[in-house]
Structure formats: C-alpha cells, structure tokens
C-alpha cells in the first residue's frame, strides 16, 4: 500500500486539467468528442497523477530512449530520406526529447491536444505514412516499458504505470490518425 500512497502524495503539486470535472469539458475545434475519447480509454485523474510521478524516471533515461528511437528510424532508408530532406537528426532528437518529457508532464489539457494535432499535420506534410508512424509509437512504447520495468519493483505500481503509459500512447495515436 505504501507505493500506492506514494504516488497519490504527488497530487498536491499537479495542476488538474479542466476536463477532469465534467462541467468543464475540453473543446477542440468546436467539438467535445475528445472527452468521450478520454472516457472510453478510461484516462482519468489517477493517470495524470501517475504521469507526473513517472516523469523523473523517464527523464533519467531520455537520451537512451531518443537515441534508440532514431537508430530504428534511420535503419529504414525511406525514413532516413524524409529526415534528410526536411530536417536533421540532431534537431529532431531535441524536439522528440522535449515532446516526450511534455507527454509525462501530466498536463493533458487543451494545449496538449492542439499541439499533437499540429504535430500530426507536420508529419503528414513530410509524407510520413501512418504505418511508419504507428511503428514508431510501438518503438517508443517498448522503450518506455523497458524503462519502467527496470525502475519499478512494486508489482501493483508497475501494472498501473504500464496501463497509464499505454493509454497515453493510445491517445497520441488517436490524435495522429484523426
Ligand atoms: C517533426 C515527434 C515520428 C520525421 C517532429 C516534431 C515532433 C515530432 C514533436 C516537431 C513538430 C513541429 O515542428 O511542431 C514525433 C513523434 C513520432 C515521430 C512523437 C513518433 C511517435 C517520426 C518518424 C519520422 C519523423 C518515424 C521519419 C521520417 C519528422 C520530420 C520532422 C518531424 C522530418 C520535421 C518536419 C519539419 O520541420 O519540416 N516530430 N515524430 N517523425 N518529424 Fe517526427
């Protein structure tokens, strides 16, 4: 029980997003469907607290996560060409690093969703096909789960973190496929 109590202790320092309370729903492009999407994957206040709690752990491994991500991307010549045409690996490593740490900030609010919809448009513009985008998400998931398994010994907490992480990645994918 102590491990569980631990992560709830962090709640005091977390900014709770508006959508946690039903009276203040998220509105994206004039629509409120995102609230139902969040409800359907059971993404709730507990996940937000846990994300905030997990951030330092992810932060410690961020270089490894980003390096292995780009290693796998560059192994696909088609993807390497897209990167060289539009940017540089060094630049993209820095953007990905920020993006991933932001994912674990726990601030899943209007700005968070809008930012991801914009990033999806950027990838569409450079011609990244959905199959590669989804493969990239799986690669990130592998790295996140490996990090969590290395760092967390409490089984119950481990399960909660795995569940929260997969919900978060699923949410990102929902936004990308829109
Ligand atoms: C740009 C994240 C997969 C190629 C970006 C940006 C972010 C990002 C945050 C900056 C967007 C902006 O300028 O506002 C991600 C995430 C991915 C992913 C989270 C997967 C889960 C990929 C893959 C490729 C790729 C697989 C392979 C080609 C690019 C390129 C840009 C970019 C070329 C720069 C576009 C430009 O500035 O013109 N990505 N990315 N991304 N990404 Fe990704």
CA of 105 to the centre of ligand 1 (A): 19
DSSP 142: H
> Is the ipTM, as predicted for this complex, more than 0.90?
yes
pLDDT the model gives residue 91: 98
pLDDT the model gives residue 145: 98
Q: Is 161 in the pocket of ligand 1 (CB under 6 A)?
A: no
Task: Kindly give the interhelix angle for 110-125 and 155-177, rounded to the nearest 10 degrees.
Answer: 60
d(CA 59, CA 151): 12
143 neighbors 65 (Cβ within 8 angstroms): yes
Q: Is 86 in the pocket of ligand 1 (CB under 6 A)?
A: yes
CA of 3 to the centre of ligand 1 (A): 36
148 neighbors 57 (Cβ within 8 angstroms): yes
Q: Is 41 in the pocket of ligand 1 (CB under 6 A)?
A: no
**Backbone φ, ψ for residue 174 (5° rounding):** -60, -40
Of all protein residues, the one whose alpha carbon is nearest to atom 4 of ligand 1 is: 83
pLDDT the model gives residue 29: 84
CA of 116 to the centre of ligand 1 (A): 11
d(CA 72, CA 147): 17
Per-residue pLDDT tens listing for the chain (178 residues): 344 433 433 444 455 565 555 556 888 888 889 999 999 999 988 999 999 999 999 999 999 999 999 999 999 999 999 999 999 999 999 999 999 999 999 888 889 999 999 999 999 999 999 999 999 999 999 999 999 999 999 999 999 999 999 999 999 999 988 7
Of all protein residues, the one whose alpha carbon is nearest to atom 19 of ligand 1 is: 96
Burial (Cβ within 10 Å: 0-12, 13-18, ≥19) of residue 146: middle
Write down the pTM of the prediction: 0.88
d(CA 88, CA 92): 6
Q: Is 79 in the pocket of ligand 1 (CB under 6 A)?
A: yes
Report the residue among 71, 91, 96 best suited for mutation to probe ligand 1: largest number of ligand atoms under 8 A from its CB. 96
pLDDT the model gives residue 95: 97
Q: What's the sign of the alpha-carbon dihedral 42, 45, 50, 51?
A: positive
pLDDT the model gives residue 83: 98
Q: Which atom of ligand 1 is nearest the CA belonging to 128?
A: 28
119 neighbors 56 (Cβ within 8 angstroms): no
The alpha carbon of residue 1 and the mean position of all alpha carbons in its chain are separated, in whole angstroms, by: 27
C-alpha distance across the termini of the chain, in Å: 40
């Amino acid at each position: 029980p102590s491990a569980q109590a631990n992560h709830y202790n962090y709640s005091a320092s977390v900014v709770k997003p508006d959508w946690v309370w039903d009276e203040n729903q998220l509105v994206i492009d004039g629509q409120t469907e995102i609230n139902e999407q969040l409800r359907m994957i059971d993404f709730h206040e507990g996940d937000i607290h846990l994300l905030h709690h997990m951030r330092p752990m992810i932060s410690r491994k961020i270089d490894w996560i980003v390096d292995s991500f780009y290693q796998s991307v560059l192994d696909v010549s088609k993807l390497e060409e897209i990167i060289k045409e539009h940017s540089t690996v060094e630049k993209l490593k820095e953007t990905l690093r920020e993006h991933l740490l932001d994912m674990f900030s726990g601030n899943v609010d209007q700005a968070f969703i809008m930012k991801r919809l914009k990033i999806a448009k950027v990838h569409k513009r450079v011609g990244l096909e959905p199959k590669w985008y989804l493969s990239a998400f799986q690669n990130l998931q592998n790295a996140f789960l490996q990090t969590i398994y290395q760092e967390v010994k409490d089984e119950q907490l481990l399960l909660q973190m795995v569940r929260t992480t997969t919900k978060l990645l699923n949410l990102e994918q929902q936004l990308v496929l829109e």
